Structure 1
Amino acid sequence: MAYLHVFLSLICLSQAVLYDYSSTSVHILTSQNFDKQVTRRRDKWVSVIHFYKEKDSRSKIQAEEFNHFADEWQGVFIVGVVNCDTHYELCEAQDIREVPAIKVYPPFPAPVGVYEGEVTSKAISAYAAKFIPSYVIELSNENYQTFLEDKPAVPKVLLFTEKSSVPTLYKALSVAFESKMFFGIVRQEDTEAIKKFKIKQFPKILLYKTVDAKTTEYKGEIKYRSIFEWLNVHSETFVHGGTEESSSTKSWIVEALPQLHRLSADDICYKQEVLCGIFFLNSPPNDSLINTAKEVVNIIGKNKDRGVSVKFMWLDLSADKAFADKFEGVGAGNLVFLKYGKRSRFVLHGGDNAEAAIETTINKISGGDGKFINIKGNLPDLSFPKSNK
C-alpha cells in the first residue's frame, strides 16, 4: 500500500503544472489575451513576462521564484506567464529564441528587453522599477501649500518618508490614480508640512481633501494592493472635472452589489475596465448574495490578481426585461460575466452562486478558457431606478 501511495504521488508531481491559475498570482497569458493585457497597456504600465515550458528544468526553477515575484509585485507591474508548449505561436511572435526567458515590456516608446539578471524577486523588481513612470510631486517648505490648494476637489495623497528616493509602489500608485488624485512626497527635512500634519513617525501616508480640509490616515500594511484598495474607495467618490459627488449621491459606487440601471451603468460597468458580473434577479439581493459578491471580490483582488478585475451588480428583471433578453438562455437567478464594448459578449456562469463556483468561472475567464457568447446588436437602454422615474 505504501508503494502505491509513493507511486501515485510521483504521478501527481510529474503532472503538476508550473503555474496553476487557481492558486497563483500571475496573469496566465494566451494568444487571445496577450495583446489586451500587455501590448495595449504599454501606454503607462510595465509588464514582466516569463516564457517557459512545463517539462524544462530551468523553467521549473525560475517559476518558483517568479511566483514569489508575482505575489509581492502584482499590481505594481503586470506579471504574466506564457506556456510555450501550448502557445508556441505567441512565443514565436514575441521573438522567444530560448526558453525559459523573462521579458520586460516598458511603456512606449522604450523597447522590449530580455531580462538577463538574477532570477529573484528582489533583482527582477529592482530592474523593472526603472521603467515605471512617476507622477509624484516633490514637496518642500516652499511649494507644499500650493500643492494642497491646487484643484480643491481633487484628493491629495501625501507620503512622509525618511528615504531619499521615491518608493516603487508609490510611483505605481501615482500611475494607477493619475487622473483621479495628486501624489506628493514629503522628506524628513520638509518641516513645515510635517508640522502642519503633526507627523511623529515615518513612513506615513495621508489623504487630504482640500474642499473640507479633511485628513485621513492610512493605517494598513505598506503594500501596493492594500493601499490601492484604500485609495480606490476615496477616489470613486470624485468625478472628473473637479466636482465632488458624495457616496450618498451615487450610492452604487460604494455598494458591494449595486443595481445596474441607467444612472449607475457607466460608473460600475460600461466605462470601467472591469468584467461586469450581473446577477439577474426579480427582487433586490439578500444579505447572503451580497456577502458572496463581497468575498469573491476580496479573494480575486487580494490573492489572485491575474489580469481580470470584477465588479458585481444585479439587474431587475421586471424593469429591464428587454436588456435581459439579449442574454440568450439567461433567466432569474443566473449570473453572467459581461465584457461591454463595441462587440459586447458574455460568459454564462454555469454553477451555483457559491463563492467557490463563481471563483472557478472567473479563473477560467482569466486563463483564457471562458466561452464567450457574442451579443447580437446593441444593448437596449436600461431603465431608471424606481425612485428616479
Structure 2
Amino acid sequence: MAIQHVFLLLLVCALAEVYEKTNPNVFFLNSQNFDKHVTKKRDKHVSIVHFYRERDSKSKEWAEEINELAKDWQGVYNIAVVNCGANEGLCESQDIKTTPTIKVYPPLPVPIQIYDGEISSKSLNNYSSRFVNSFVVELTEENYLTFLNEKPSMPKVMLFTEKSGTPTLFKSLSLHFENKMLFGLAKPEDTSLVAKFKVKTYPKIILFKTSDNKSFDYSGDLKFRGIFDWLNVYAETFVSGGTDAVMSVKPWMNQIVPQLTKQSADDICYKHEGFLCAILFLESTPDDSLTSIFKTLTDKYGSKKDRGADVKFMWLDINTDRGYFESFEGTSVGQLVFLKHGKRNRFVAHDGKINLSEISNTIDKIGGGDGKFLNIKGGLPELNMQKK
C-alpha cells in the first residue's frame, strides 16, 4: 500500500503544471497576446520569455528560478512564459527548436538573444540588465542646478547612492516615466546637492517639485513595484505644458481604499496586468477600521513584498453599480472578491471574516495556486460614473 501511495504521489507531481494558471508573477503568452506584451514593447523594454512543454525534462526546475526573478523584477523586465504544447504555431514563429528555451528580447535594433547561461534568477537578471536603456542623468556639482530647474512642471527623481554605476531598477523607472519625470543619480561627493536635500543615509530616493520647491522622501522597500506605485501618484499630479493639475482630478490615486468606478477603474484595477483586484462590496464608504485593515494589507501585498499574489484593494458602491455587483454570482454585501481582469474575467470570493488574518490566508492560497477561480458569465458590465 505504501508503494502504491508513493507511486501515486510521483504521478501527481509528474502531471503537475509547470506554471499554475493562477500564478500572478508571470505573463502567460499565446498567439493572440504575444505581440502586445513582447513585440510592441521592443521600442524601449526588455522581455524574458521561457518557452516550455509540460513534460520536458527541465522546465519545472527552471520555473522556480523564473518565478523567483519575476517576484521582484516583473516591471523592470516583461517576464513571460509560453507553453509550446498548447501554442505550437507561436513557438514555431519564434524559431523554438527545442524546449525548454529562454529567449531575451532587447530593445530594437539589438537582435533577440537565446539565453544559454546558468538558470538562476541572479544570472538571468545579470544577463538581461545589460540591455536596459536609461534616461538617468549623472548629477555633479556643475550640472545639478540645471537639472533641478529645467522643465519646472516636471518632477525630478533623484537616487542618492554610494555605489558605482546606475542600478537597473532605476534605469527602468526612468523609461516607464519618460516625458513625465526626470531622473538623476547623485553620489556623496555631490556635497551641495546632498546638503540641499539633507541626505544622511544611502541609498535614498527623493522626488523634487521645482514649481513650489518641495521635496518628498520615499520610505518603502527598494523594489520596483513599490517605487513605481509611489512615483505614479506624483506623475498623475502633473501634466505637460508647464502647468500643474490638481490631485482632485484623480483623487483615487492618493486614497488608501479607492472607490471602483468608471473614472477610476483603469488606474486602480484594469490596467495593472498581473495584479489581483480586491473589491469589497459596500453600501457606503469604508470606515476607519476597514481602511486600517486594507492599509496593512496594501503594505504587505501591494508591492510583492511577500511571496504570492500582488493585490490592489478597492471598494464598490453596490447601490451605484448593482449590475456589476450581481455579476459576481453567489456574493453578498460586505463580501470581498479577488478579480483577475482581462480577456476572461475570473474571481475568487473570500468566504472568511474581513480581518487581516483571514484575508491574508485567502491571498496566500491564491498565490500558492489553491484559489478556485470562477468565470464571470457574460463578462463584466460597464461601471457607472462616480456621483459628485
Do these two structures clear the TM 0.5 threshold for a shared fold by scoring above it? yes
Q: CA deviation at 1:168?
A: 0.8
Paired position in structure 1 for 2:385:
382
Gaps of 5+ in 2: 353-358
Q: How does 1:125-140 map to 2 (within 5 A)?
A: 125-140=125-140
Instruction: Tell me if structure 2 keeps the 8 A contact 1:346–1:375.
Output: no
* 2:355 aligned residue: none
Which residue of structure 2 aligns with residue 225 of structure 1?
225
Equivalent positions of 1:1-389 (< 5 A) are 2-3=2-3, 5-22=5-22, 25-245=25-245, 247=247, 250-261=250-261, 264=264, 268=268, 272=271, 281-285=282-286, 291=293, 295=297, 299=301, 301-302=303-304, 311-319=312-320, 324=324, 333=333, 347=345, 349=347, 351-352=349-350, 355=359, 373=378, 379=382, 382=385, 384-385=387-388
Give the root-mean-square deviation of aligned CA atoms: 4.2
Structure 1 residues 336-378: Cα deviation after superposition (integer angstroms, max 9, x where no partner): 95969xxxx77263634664668888999xxx996674579xx
Amino acid in the other structure paired with 1:295: L
CA positional deviation for 1:381: 6.5
* SS of residue in 2 equivalent to 1:67: helix
Deviation for aligned residue 1:145: 0.9
CA contact (8 A) 2:153 2:239 kept: no
Deviation at 1:81, TM superposition (A): 1.5
Paired with 2:237 and 2:272, the residues of 1 have a C-alpha distance of 17
Q: How far apart are the structure 2 equivalents of 1:136 and 1:4?
A: 60
- Code of the aligned partner of 2:285: P
Partners of 1:273 and 1:350 lie apart in 2 by: 18
The AA in structure 1 aligned to 2:52 is Y
Question: Taking structure 1 as reference, are residues 305 and 182 closer, same or farther at Cα in structure 2, changes over 3 Å only?
Answer: farther
1:279–1:315 Cα contact (<8 Å) kept = yes
Where 1:108 maps in the other structure, the secondary structure is coil
- Output the amino acid matched with 2:199: I
Compared CA separation, residues 109 and 215, structure 1 to 2 (3 A): same
Tell me the TM-score normalized by structure 1. 0.76
Q: C-alpha distance in 1, partners of 2:143/2:362?
A: 52
Counterparts of 2:2 and 2:368, CA distance in 1: 35
Amino acid corresponding to residue 76 of structure 1 in structure 2: V
* TM-aligned CA distance change 1:22 to 1:336, over 3 Å: closer
Tell me how many residue pairs correspond in the alignment.
375
TM-score under structure 2 normalisation?
A: 0.76
Deviation string for 1:174-211 (max 9, x for gaps)? 11222332110123443332332333443332222223
| Distance in 1 separating the partners of 2:386 and 2:67 | 45
Q: Structure 2: how far apart are the matches of 1:179 and 1:172?
A: 14
Q: Check conservation: 1:25, 1:305, Cα contact below 8 A.
A: no
Structure 1 residues 292 and 200, CA gap change in structure 2 (3 angstroms): closer
Letter in 2 for 1:186: A
Secondary structure of 1:151's partner? coil
